[in-house]
Amino acid sequence: MVRRDFAPTATGLLTAAPFFVAGLLVGLVVGLVLALVAGPFAAPLAAQEIQRTALHDYRVVTVADGFEVPWSMTWLPDGDLLVTERPGRLRIVRDGRLLPNEVAGVPDVLANGQGGLLDVVAHPDFASNRLVYLSFSKPQGGRASTTTVVRARFENDALTGVEEIFEAQSSGAGHYGGRIVFDGAGHFFLSIGDRQAAPRGDLEAHPAQDLASHQGVVVRLNEDGSVPADNPFVGQAGALPEIWSYGHRNPQGMALHPETGDLWATEHGPQGGDELNRVEAGLNYGWPVVGYGVNYRSGTAIHEGTTREGMEDPLHVWIPSIGTSGFMIYDGDAFPEWRGHMFAGGLSGERVDRIQLENRRVVMSETVFHDMGRVRDVRQGPDGLIYVALEERGGGTTAIVRLEPVG
Ligand SMILES: [Ca+2]
């Protein structure tokens, strides 16, 4: 077994060895359990060996399992955990158990490739308005679809009053983005990928560089889906007023910094070049004109270079790609040394990286979790623990697990 997916940092290399050993042990235990039950499904992840990282040691504990591509999760004030499954189901984990019935009222999705039911976020005032927001790939006939947001009331384990509040002007195959973040000031952000538009020829003519489409952008909307009057491109001819930032490839991780209120996002690069960006109003994040990736398989150049005046440099780059997915910034009490640090999930990298910044510069990155499957989402729970949504790897089961501090 050759590990190829660690970031080329000294910290990553130093932490690789113990994780490798731990991974082998976990593999042996899981293999033994599988051999004993001899069933078609992998056994739930059991409490694992203690995992050691630079600042905190932890244990992995299974919260619930049996999901199909769990894409996102959000907690409600009564303790329920809502989980989206990409094929189009919204599920409830209640009292540590995944309820068998899906939530009624979820809109139809185009469950194809990267498309399906994507994010679920409870409104910040859910306790009084019971609103949840969902993003998904809305079917538009044939194989066409686009990133769309609905909001609805969640009552009696069903959605009612489902209201479509935004439909992106985009077309293409995958790269839906789909992450929703409330800013606590009456707005929400939504990431939208470039819909897999191939960068060819004139890179500046790519849709992610074109303000007349929603491809490769972050939009900012009022909570009812209307356009805030202070958005950066309001009133600019030829620009869609919902756009907050552009030049993104496929941002699927996004979070507000709990102290500064800044918006941060991770996005998939091509082969190499996943990025962490601080996402600011009106700025251009460069895709596909500048970046660190190359074309899949051929390895040929995509970009004209890695940096250009007027385009934002990423603050962290993963080479090779980890397939960035969910993203969070920690502010809980369970892991006090991790407060203010960023946690980025990776699909192909099957891991969660911790990223530490000082004055908006990355001073340390470390892989803190890996080898338990593709990581689709990483979130801080109301208990301050870190929850990781794992999706299928090699036909095994899927689970939501959490990291609990040890010592
Ligand atoms: Ca970029």
What pLDDT, on the 0 to 100 scale, is given for residue 52? 93
pLDDT at 94: 97
pLDDT, residue 47, reads: 53
Angle (CA) 173-400-92 rounded to 5° is 85
Predicted pLDDT at 392: 72
211 CA from centroid of ligand 1 (Å):
16
Q: What is the pLDDT of residue 381?
A: 98
- pLDDT score at 173: 93
Residue-level pLDDT at 54: 95
CA–centroid distance, residue 49 to ligand 1 (Å):
38
Ligand 1 ion: nearby residues, β-carbon < 5 Å = 285-286
Nearest residue to 365 (alpha-carbon basis) of 14, 2, 50, 22? 14
Q: Are 72 and 389 in contact (CB under 8 A)?
A: yes
Residues, the chain: 407
Q: How many whole angstroms from 373 Cα to the centroid of ligand 1?
A: 27
Tell me the Cα Rg of the chain: 20
Fold for the domain defined by 10-406? Neuraminidase (2.120.10)
Residue 175 annotated in active site: yes
Residue 243 alpha carbon to ligand 1 centre in Å: 16
Per-residue confidence (pLDDT) for residue 97, from 0 to 100: 94
Q: What pLDDT was estimated at residue 25?
A: 52
Query: How confident is the model over 364-389, as pLDDT tens digits?
Result: 999 999 988 899 999 999 999 999 99
Q: What CA–CA distance (Å, rounded) separates 136 from 109?
A: 6
d(CA 221, CA 405): 37
Say which DSSP state 142 is in: T
CA of 239 relative to ligand 1 center, distance in Å = 20
List phi, psi (to 5°) of 145.
-165, 165
Give the residue extent of every domain in the chain.
10-406
Mean pLDDT score of the chain = 88
CA of 208 to the centre of ligand 1 (A): 11
pTM: 0.88
Residue tagged active-site, from 175, 206, 316, 370 = 175
Three-state SS at 73: strand
Residue 279 C-alpha to ligand 1 middle, in angstroms? 11
Residues (pLDDT < 50) of the chain are 1-21, 24, 28-46
Say whether the peptide bond before residue 320 is cis (omega within 30 degrees of 0).
Answer: yes
Pick from 247, 252, 282, 249: nearest CA to 264: 252
**291 CA distance to ligand 1 centroid (A)?**
5
CA 258-361-275 angle, to 5 degrees, is: 85
For residues 134 and 299, what is the distance between their CA atoms, to the nearest angstrom? 36
pLDDT value of residue 178: 98
Query: For residue 315, how many other CB atoms are within 10 A of its CB?
Result: 16
Rounded to the nearest angstrom, the distance between the alpha carbon of 100 and the centre of ligand 1 is 41
